[in-house]
Amino acid sequence: MSHRIVFLDRETIAPEVNVRRPAFDHDWEEFGRTSPDQVVERLKGATIAITNKAPLREETLRQLPDLKMIAVAATGTDVIDLAWCKANGITVSNIRGYAVNTVPEHTFALILALSRNVIGYRQDVINGEWQKSEQFCFFTHPISDLSGKRLGILGEGALGQSVANLARAFGMEPVFAAHKGSTGLGPLYTPWDEVIETADIFTLHCPLLPSTRGMIGLDEFKRMKDSAIIVNTARGGLIVEEDLATALEQGMIRGAAIDVISAEPPADDHPFFKLLEKPNFILTPHVAWASHEAIQTLSDQMIDNVENYVAGNPTNVVGDF
């Protein structure tokens, strides 16, 4: 059997990354990007779809009777109607373990930038403040060491564990927050309320689920230390974004660094845009995952998943963790 493979959004993988062709008889077609209203037309006759962010919902999948396998070019599968796929025999495979270096390193780049006020001091130099100071240094922004600080990690998977290892190297105390509203999860976890009230720095590494959507909001910000920093390199919907803007504007917390937003790219009136001039706020465009090494690993694993499915030994099947 010859397979027709369609990659809906090749531009979500950096152009310098090699996407090898599967080692079996197939027809390959790829598009830089695909809007929701183009998905059905482009996948007609396809047996295998590759997608990163192009959505495949029930109303779309019903019109694609030839589709047998979806290879997600990411770990998150919220763009796929998994229940419909399971009920109709469509195998969905995702990517795992590729970001254990790139996301934690980006996380700590953001933590360090905020803790040491790198953005604020850089802007001061640009503005000529160093020359005006008439001394070898000046103290316009507070600087804090990481050693001895408590790092609250929300998400205990591979990324959270990797972040914890880096934290220990800095002399920090990493603690894994118990799931919000849950108790009795075991010795790995510190109670949710305790983490919210005692952590110096928070970092999010959990999936976006109904139970985690909006898990950090105004109530949590009010209970955090006013010296706390929060970093999100996971999913935008985990934080109530309007509440984060309020928390920063009112000084409830010291700083925030965000790599993910609930709708990407964000609209021009997104509340984060009014924070961009603040030295204690950093916004990066969903690139924590995007080191060259990580994306090449992702691409290779994506094609491995396709080849293994065709060989009758599907890998990384969603729901088979």
Cα separation, 65 vs 45, in Å, equals 8
Q: Which of 11, 59, 129, 264 is catalytic?
A: 264
How would you label 36-72 residue by residue, b for 16+ Cβ within 10 Å and e otherwise?
eeebeebbeebbbbbbbbbebeeebbeebeebbbbbb
Instruction: Tell me which residue has tokens 């603690």.
Output: 175
Report long-range pairs for 157-162 (Cβ below 8 Å, ≥24 apart): 157/205, 157/206, 158/96, 158/97, 158/100, 159/99, 159/100, 159/103, 159/104, 159/205, 159/234, 160/205, 160/206, 162/100, 162/101, 162/103, 162/104
Determine how many CB atoms are found less than 10 A away from the CB of residue 137: 7
Both tokens of 115, joined, read 């803790």
Q: Which of 4, 26, 286, 307 is catalytic?
A: 286
| Pair 293, 273: CB distance under 8 Å | no
| Pair 217, 238: CB distance under 8 Å | no
Instruction: Tell me which residue has tokens 């700590």.
Output: 108
Is 264 tagged catalytic? yes
Q: Which of 42, 106, 235, 254 is catalytic?
A: 235
Is 307 tagged catalytic? no
Q: What positions carry a catalytic annotation?
A: 235, 264, 286
